[in-house]
A and B are shown apart, each in its own frame.
Chain A
Amino acid sequence: MIAALDLKKYFGPVAAVDGVSFTAQDGQVTGLLGPNGAGKTTTLRMLYGVMRSDGGSIEVDHVDATKYPRDAQARLGVLPDLAGLYPRLTAREQVRYYGELHGLEGDALHERTTDLLKTLDLMHLADRRAAGYSHGERTKVAIARALVHEPQNVILDEPTNGLDVMSTRAVRAIIKRLKAQGRCVLFSSHVMQEVSALCDSIVVIAGGKVVAHGTPDELRARAGYDSLEDAFVALAGAGEPR
């Protein structure tokens, strides 16, 4: 479970995140939906501990992430905004590196790595260096290394951005599987179909504020539109300064 309460982040005089609160539950997929520049990435960066918040609190499985950032990070698997691979390492080595940083070693690490590469259909890349991977392959390897320590909570920042249909489907399948395993999945997107197809709960964010929070049906009803896209435009527009 990930809980954000009244999160704030300022860049100089600009409030990039201005009092964001929401909870992402275990066994659910929570979507963070918003236009470009709404503050999605900044919010997520504070959640996964690479940016300090200027106010508010974060709890990951009831661990205070602002006080114990390493403990919170140990419970998180993250596909960050920038998820570059090491071009001279193979897929297996990229995954092993993160596993070792999490304290895994020996047979346990080997088995876990092989399992992940098999499940994500990456065995053909296992011993190939990352320099020649396609965008979809890079994303899948980045997701694999984020899951090596079997985290209870998974944060994915625009995981399907720029992917082709096949890769997008593969990523969706991963998200569904994580949900079925009872994990808490939080992902950001600005693609409507994706959010409506996957999410149990949607947080609409605009101008650094949460403008709506609920199930897809609730959001449609609230905005008075049948299509989620129209609802989103209406809700997101409400957050923009006029």
Chain B
Amino acid sequence: MRVPRPLPRWVRQARVVLVKELVDSFRDKRALASILLGILVGPLITAFMMNRIADRQKEADDVRIPIVGARNAPALVQWLSQQSGVLVTPPPADPEQAVREQAEYVVLVVPADYADDFRASRPASIKLIADSARSDARAQVERVQRLLQQYNAEIGALRLIGRGVSPAAATPLKVEGIEVSTTQQRAAKLLSVIPLMVLLAAFTGAMQLATDATAGERERGSLEALLVNPVPRGALALGKVAASALCAMLAVMVTAGLCTALLRFIPLQELGMRFRFGTPHMLGLMAAALPMCLLTASVQSCVATLAKSFKEAQTYMGILILAPMLVGVMGTLYPVDHQPWMYGVPLLGQYVLLTSVLGGFAPGPIAFAAAGLTCVASAALMLRATVALLNDERIVFGR
């Protein structure tokens, strides 16, 4: 049996620091609660809103049509009630009042002369009572209008055939509507929030530990005693950064897992999205986001080491977290084509990868590798900077 070679001393020391920082930080209940709240709120709110939108969409497909004077147009009423999801109901006493008071989304009124006009092939008037100020009724009203247009076209075609004219002659244009209704847009917007939430989790997850292990260590007066141990500063910094990177990774995995789980419960097909979110997507999200945790942890550790106090470090953390927000907001407001160079920019590269994965199209492994390597390389630079700061007496003993 091969005896494993013992790890170099500095690696073992870094591991000791890592374990201590994790234990210490997981005992900080208040910090833990704030991290949990930070990563849970986003996905839950998004899921809630997606469900609301899906419900709305479903409501629009099931439409109630109260008809005043239904006896005047038996054929129309029969045709309507044969359409799927349509329920023809008796009219309210005062139709306009009912719509105004939001008791009904829409009411149809068939006048008494409808039958005469219809039989004489004159345009038979029919009244549609709706309140255009009500945005939640819009889908229902549009559905009823579409149904009436459809009936219009069918009867018109029959009349033309009865007169020996092809219905095609009366249809000079054939408009093919590609439907991108407002509800779908809203749902798509909501989905595009997921990459932002994953990016944010990489920041919020590392934040507490990165601050506590650097600025906190100094403010408690335990840094000088720690530096007396025969441990290279590089091993100390590595252990601390690795511990906060692990926290960030945990936060990213929880966020991505939560989003995946929630997406399964959201009736996406009712929002017109042919999209199933499964394990490959989940793995894609991880591959895109995990390398970035190294970078967020090392940047935050470096900045917090530079800060003069714990409080100042927290202020800097608040500024740092604007970076992913900026990328996410710009990405949502100004969607641009994904360019290859973007993979080489930390944060932007991850955002592009995450959006692609969620869009159901995964870029090649080279894109993942490029984005990941840039993160690891920048993380190494930040780690070096942190070590340099720990070697600076003005930093260690305050200024």
Contacts and interface: CB of A to CB of B under 8 A. Distances in A.
B220 A87 contact: yes
A88 B27 CA distance: 7
B230 A70 contact: yes
A89 interface: yes
Contact of A85 (B9, B16, B222): B222
Contacts of B168: none
Nearest to A97: B20
Interface residues of A, number: 35
Contact of B393 (A51, A74, A129): A51
Given A51-B393, A101-B13, A86 B220 contact: yes
A192 B223 CA distance: 30
Contact of A83 (B13, B16, B23, B221): B221
B228 A50 contact: yes
A82 B230 contact: no
Interface in B293-322: none
B3 to A, nearest CB: 17
Given A84-B222, A100-B16, A101-B13, A89 B24 contact: yes
Given A82-B224, A84-B222, A101 B393 contact: no
A129 B29 CA distance: 14
Given A86-B222, A89-B24, A97-B20, A48 B12 contact: no
A21 B229 CA distance: 24
Contacts of B393: 50-52
A87 B29 CA distance: 13
A89 to B, nearest CB: 6
B120 interface: no
A67 B391 CA distance: 15
A88 to B, nearest CB: 4
A103 interface: yes
Contact of B228 (A73, A93, A97, A100): A73
Interface residues of B, number: 25
A27 to B, nearest CB: 23
A12 to B, nearest CB: 11
Given A97-B20, A101-B13, A82 B228 contact: no
A227 to B, nearest CB: 35
A84 B228 contact: no
Contacts of B16: 97, 100-101
A240 interface: no
A50 B227 contact: yes
Interface in A72-97: 73-74, 76, 78-89, 93, 97
B28 interface: yes
Contacts of A194: none
The main secondary structure of chain B at its interface with chain A is helix
Contacts of A97: 16, 20
A217 interface: no
Interface string B218-248: 0011111101111110000000000000000
Given A50-B396, A52-B393, A88-B24, A102 B230 contact: yes
Interface string A81-123: 1111111110001000110111100000000000000000000
B24 A50 contact: no
Contacts of B221: 82-84
B256 to A, nearest CB: 29
Contacts of A74: 230
Contacts of A76: 228
Nearest to A98: B229
A139 to B, nearest CB: 12
Nearest to A76: B228
A30 B58 CA distance: 85
B28 A88 contact: yes
B243 to A, nearest CB: 13
A73 B228 CA distance: 7
A49 interface: yes
B29 to A, nearest CB: 9
Contacts of B17: 101
Contacts of B9: 103
B228 A70 contact: no
A71 interface: yes
B228, B232, B393: residue with the most chain A Cβ atoms closer than 10 Å = B228
A70 B228 CA distance: 9
B12 A103 contact: yes
21 contacts: A45-B224, A49-B227, A50-B224, A50-B228, A50-B396, A51-B397, A73-B228, A76-B228, A78-B228, A80-B224, A84-B220, A84-B222, A85-B222, A86-B220, A86-B222, A89-B23, A93-B23, A97-B16, A101-B230, A102-B230, A145-B225
6 closest Cβ pairs, A-B complex: A84-B221, A82-B221, A84-B222, A73-B230, A84-B220, A70-B230
Interface of B: 9, 12-13, 16-17, 20, 23-24, 27-28, 220-225, 227-232, 393, 396-397
Given A70-B232, A73-B229, A82-B221, 17 more contacts: A49-B227, A49-B228, A70-B231, A80-B228, A81-B224, A82-B222, A82-B223, A84-B220, A85-B222, A86-B20, A86-B220, A86-B222, A88-B28, A93-B23, A97-B20, A100-B16, A101-B231
